[in-house]
Structure 1
Amino acid sequence: MEHLAVELLEHIFTMACTDGGFTGCSLSLVSKHVRAASQTARFHSIALASGSPPQVAQFTACLTTARAESTGTTPRVRHLFLVSAKRTIELQSRPKDEDDTERLKYIADVTELLRIIAPKLYTFCVIHGHRPLSQELHVPFAGIRCPLLREFTLVGSGRIDGSLATGPSPNYPSLTRVHLWFCGLGHTMGVHVRFPQLWTEHAPHVTHLRISNLGYLASDVIHPIKALALESEDICSLPALKRLVVQPAPGPAPGGRCGNPYTAYGRFLGNLQEMRHQAKRPFALVEAGERMSDFEGPAMREWLDRVGGGPGCWEFEAFGGEEIPLRSCTPRAGS
């Protein structure tokens, strides 16, 4: 290995560093030569999922040092998996924004990291809004521009609207696949009826849109989905969209009150089936999965599969003349 060209080693190490950072850390401990030769590749895919508020700032400092010391290709993060941090002290009441020092520090840390890596980022998976508000520090989105971003996955139920896409020009001109993965029956990241317009304006080349774990109470997003499927003229649709995939959330929990929830859920599934039959665009309806309490683990597995060249949640097969996703993001009932 000592006699191999550095360019060859960089290529080999890049192909190996697709596990979110573990291999990169291991390579840095092998020897001085391997540490230097793998400096670029070590940051190829990074997972910041500890939930610790200082982790983002610590990684940013590490990346900044590596970039300053680099004598060859500048280390770049191509794939990022980011989980929102947990508060060190759970709030008893919501403080004023200017008094929430822990939140302000976390926003500044994440903003600085994204400022450094966003121009060269290929895939980005974010998990936030999946904990109680009193325990979580949300990931900021305002002002992010990722010109090379190809795939974006957002998991959770935190608010996302116009703050995700700001500025006069498209923030995501290369984005082709968007996956919105909800964590609650009626909480859908604040996605409102304008979400197709927002993505059309800032990600005009999206070809695949997947919405997973869609709750039967999520009326704020069902109408836009229907408009996209039917190419309705009352909502500006994604012009390049080739595939729309929807996975409903599981039904009401057993043992609860009977009547309206079960009736509403049945009506919800019926509407999705009707939507699929009437769709003017390719529309795939995935079987509802089981209830989940852990979204981070499954999301990490999907992201790692994509980084490693796998299909992730975009795997399809021919079935009755229609392409049906093979993989649900949530395990199917009974599996």
Structure 2
Amino acid sequence: MNILDRLPYDLWHIIFQLACTDGGRTGCALALASKACRRASSSARLHSVHIHSLRNVRGFLICMERIRRSTGEYPPVHHLLFSFLPETCDAPVRAWRTNWTDYARNERAMLMQLVNEHREWNTRKIAWNRGFVHHVSALLARVAGTLHTLVVLQSRDVRLPLVHCRLPALRELTLLGDDRMFVRVPRPGVLVPREGDDSDFALYDVPLPSADGPGGVPFPALRRLHVVYAWSKLHPWEETLPRWAALAPAVTHLRISQGSAQVAQTIRDMLGLPPPLVPPSPPTSNRNAADDGDVTVPESTPASPAVAGPTYPSLRLVIVQLSRAPKWTSSVTAAAVLAQRCEVEQVAEACAHADGGASQAWVSVLRSRRYDDEYWPRRLLREWRERMSGGGGCWTEDEYDEDERWGVSEIGPLPKRERPLTLDLRSDGPERTKAAKKWWQAVFSLRKRRAL
């Protein structure tokens, strides 16, 4: 008797779904186990899929077609992650020479080398873009009816074109660095030096996304949207993020990570909050408290009650995490970054004390941090898997999850502010009453305790 016949198919389906949460490795193992196991797990084997190149997209489409021919329908895909990063993606990347001495010493000859290399790269990138639009649009069309979560990891070195997309069942979307796959502003964007390519301006016969299209709203069921500001983009986030109100009108949870200086005003517009009469200024210390190191934050004038309606009325929770200034930055820049944090906190306070006629959203401001380039791809992959199992992911508002590097946090939750804190402008954290021990002091203390 086959072991698969000992339990009902409904139980096996649940078991296969709980097992296939690693992006496809377990599903491949189930397909190679036996013919019976392949047939029994066909409806759950693609529960989660992790794709990291255009070659994977083509192979996955072939796999789905084979399953359709054997079972009569396409297998459901509930969780999808695109990881188009230079380390694994097959997109052509600009091949800059190691040293300038590798180029010709003659200025005219060097210019010709640069032009020819750019022309060769641009030709290969255009061909890759056209293949990307065709195959990714076909993939999203096949999984549109069952896809629940989608994560797009990308890099500034691999610029993605706009694709045909309508996902009626999508409930959660995470975007790293850019939303150019789904949103474009009609007017031309800003060509970033040494970064732009043909996909910045050519749409490859893809119409601009709109809620008035023949298919209706592209993301009607989307509830949670997480965007990560990572680098300068073709159209700034303050221009593209408000457009999601028309593309995904049912979003209730919005998280902005590594936010920029315009985050506060963007949130005010989306929630329908009035702008402050007096812009918040960075904390300054008066002459009497200069010797003690106390920093006072001036109170802003109450905002004007006249304000237009919210542009994103469905929002109920907004989590904001700003980018921290580097430790080597100047005091002026650090003070400006801290002033941005104070402005976002004013928005959160305005929402917390709002009456019935104002915004009903709750704004949560997390501790400002600065991460390595490899941090967000690792973390978003981990949170994608956690959300499949019912975990909170990035929506927990827990400072323990906002770790500094690889996922192990050594900091506690933010203390309750009863008075203005003495802040270090470069670290944006509470005052340190005692300096950390050096390594030789820690070793000496440990040996002393052991000797006792």
Which bin holds the TM-score, normalised by the shorter protein?
0.7 to 0.9
Structure 1 position 206, deviation (Å) = 1.0
Where does residue 50 of structure 2 map in the other structure? 47
Alignment equivalent of 2:335, drawn from 256, 260, 263? 263
Structure 1 position 98, deviation (Å) = 9.7
What is the letter of the counterpart of residue 171 of structure 2? R
Structure 1 position 209, deviation (Å) = 0.6
What is the letter of the counterpart of residue 265 of structure 2? H
The verdict on how the C-alpha distance between 1:222 and 1:235 changes in structure 2, with shifts beyond 3 A counting, is: farther
Q: Is 1:2 the equivalent of 2:9? A: no
Partner Cα separation in structure 2 for residue 66 and residue 189 of structure 1: 40
Q: Is 1:126 the equivalent of 2:152? A: yes
Is contact 1:276-1:283 (8 Å) kept?
yes
Structure 1 position 334, deviation (Å) = 6.0
Is contact 2:271-2:313 (8 Å) kept?
no
Structure 1 position 242, deviation (Å) = 1.0
1:155-200 deviation line (CA, Å, top 9, x unaligned): 114646347843422111111111111213x55963234633x222
Alignment equivalent of 1:305, drawn from 381, 386, 389? 386
SS in 1 for 2:32: coil
Alignment equivalent of 1:161, drawn from 163, 167, 183? 183
Where does residue 127 of structure 2 map in the other structure? 101
Structure 1 position 100, deviation (Å) = 1.8
The verdict on how the C-alpha distance between 1:17 and 1:333 changes in structure 2, with shifts beyond 3 A counting, is: closer
Q: Is 1:90 the equivalent of 2:94? A: yes
Where does residue 80 of structure 1 map in the other structure? 80
SS in 2 for 1:29: helix
Q: Larger deviation: 16-25 or 233-242?
A: 233-242
Partner Cα separation in structure 1 for residue 247 and residue 127 of structure 2: 31
Partner Cα separation in structure 1 for residue 377 and residue 309 of structure 2: 33
SS in 1 for 2:255: strand
Is contact 2:272-2:309 (8 Å) kept?
no
1:243-295 deviation line (CA, Å, top 9, x unaligned): 111011121x2334x24322221221121222221224311001123422112
The verdict on how the C-alpha distance between 1:54 and 1:45 changes in structure 2, with shifts beyond 3 A counting, is: same
Where does residue 321 of structure 1 map in the other structure? none
What is the letter of the counterpart of residue 178 of structure 1? L
Partner Cα separation in structure 1 for residue 273 and residue 69 of structure 2: 50
Structure 1 position 143, deviation (Å) = 3.2
Partner Cα separation in structure 2 for residue 42 and residue 147 of structure 1: 22
Indicate the structure with greater strand content: 1
Give the greater-gyration-radius structure (CA): 2
Partner Cα separation in structure 2 for residue 55 and residue 189 of structure 1: 29
SS in 1 for 2:130: helix
Where does residue 148 of structure 1 map in the other structure? 169
Where does residue 114 of structure 1 map in the other structure? 140
The verdict on how the C-alpha distance between 1:23 and 1:79 changes in structure 2, with shifts beyond 3 A counting, is: same
Where does residue 27 of structure 1 map in the other structure? 30
What is the letter of the counterpart of residue 287 of structure 1? R
What is the letter of the counterpart of residue 147 of structure 1? P
Partner Cα separation in structure 1 for residue 223 and residue 256 of structure 2: 15
Partner Cα separation in structure 2 for residue 28 and residue 326 of structure 1: 39
Is contact 2:81-2:150 (8 Å) kept?
yes
What is the letter of the counterpart of residue 153 of structure 2? I
The verdict on how the C-alpha distance between 1:167 and 1:78 changes in structure 2, with shifts beyond 3 A counting, is: same
Where does residue 238 of structure 1 map in the other structure? 312
The verdict on how the C-alpha distance between 1:80 and 1:98 changes in structure 2, with shifts beyond 3 A counting, is: same
Aligned positions, number? 313
The verdict on how the C-alpha distance between 1:141 and 1:78 changes in structure 2, with shifts beyond 3 A counting, is: farther
Partner Cα separation in structure 1 for residue 175 and residue 404 of structure 2: 15
Where does residue 319 of structure 1 map in the other structure? none
Is contact 1:153-1:178 (8 Å) kept?
yes
Where does residue 58 of structure 1 map in the other structure? 59
**Larger RCO: Structure 1 or Structure 2 (Cα < 8 Å, ≥ 6 residues apart)?**
1
Partner Cα separation in structure 1 for residue 37 and residue 273 of structure 2: 54
> Structure 1: 5+ residue runs without aligned partners?
317-323
What is the letter of the counterpart of residue 179 of structure 1? H
Partner Cα separation in structure 2 for residue 330 and residue 115 of structure 1: 38
Partner Cα separation in structure 1 for residue 175 and residue 235 of structure 2: 9
The verdict on how the C-alpha distance between 1:191 and 1:273 changes in structure 2, with shifts beyond 3 A counting, is: same
Q: Is 1:36 the equivalent of 2:116? A: no
The verdict on how the C-alpha distance between 1:26 and 1:289 changes in structure 2, with shifts beyond 3 A counting, is: farther
Partner Cα separation in structure 1 for residue 74 and residue 178 of structure 2: 35
Structure 1 position 229, deviation (Å) = 4.3
The verdict on how the C-alpha distance between 1:143 and 1:157 changes in structure 2, with shifts beyond 3 A counting, is: closer
> Structure 2: 5+ residue runs without aligned partners?
96-116, 186-207, 275-306, 355-360, 412-452
Structure 1 position 108, deviation (Å) = 1.8
Is contact 1:81-1:125 (8 Å) kept?
yes
Is contact 1:315-1:326 (8 Å) kept?
no
Partner Cα separation in structure 2 for residue 333 and residue 250 of structure 1: 17
Partner Cα separation in structure 2 for residue 41 and residue 189 of structure 1: 39
Where does residue 289 of structure 2 map in the other structure? none
1:207-260 deviation line (CA, Å, top 9, x unaligned): 1111011134xx3x4422122345454464222211111011121x2334x243
Is contact 1:230-1:278 (8 Å) kept?
no
What is the letter of the counterpart of residue 60 of structure 1? L
Where does residue 202 of structure 1 map in the other structure? 247
Where does residue 320 of structure 1 map in the other structure? none
The verdict on how the C-alpha distance between 1:236 and 1:93 changes in structure 2, with shifts beyond 3 A counting, is: farther
SS in 1 for 2:250: coil
SS in 1 for 2:346: helix
